[in-house]
Amino acid sequence: MRLLERMRKEWFMIGIVLAIAGAKLEPSIGVNGGPLKPEITVSYIAVATIFFNSGLSLKTELADSRLHASPCVFCSDFNQGSWWK
């Protein structure tokens, strides 16, 4: 039971060790043009995931104030944009 508790506590380090061991055993998976397509996943998906996670960690007061202002800006921009048509 103690080992299971330790594994739950250190799940991230265990995952890193498993990922490194998998890359050592089968490096062709992560090569350019391989099945993981690192030229796409690293440049687009990883960056989007990082920004998404940092957005989730914002305080709700800050997010609420920005959400309140964004419809006003959108409506004013939309109204001014339709004047020229």
pTM: 0.49
Residue 85 located in a structural domain: no
- Kindly provide the b/e burial profile for residues 3-40, where b requires at least 16 CB atoms within 10 angstroms of the residue's own CB: eeeeeeeeeeeeeeeeeeeeeeeeeeebeeeeeeeeee
Q: Could you tell me the residue range of the domain that residue 45 belongs to?
A: 1-57
Q: pLDDT per position in the chain (85 positions), as tens?
A: 799 999 999 999 999 999 999 999 999 988 888 888 888 888 888 899 999 988 888 777 655 665 555 555 555 555 555 555 5
Residue 18 located in a structural domain: yes
* Each residue's pLDDT tens digit, 74-84: 555 555 555 55
Residue 52 located in a structural domain: yes
Residue 64 located in a structural domain: no
Residue 68 located in a structural domain: no
Cα gap 21→25, rounded to integer Å: 6
Residue 84 located in a structural domain: no
Query: What total of structural domains would you count in the chain?
Result: 1
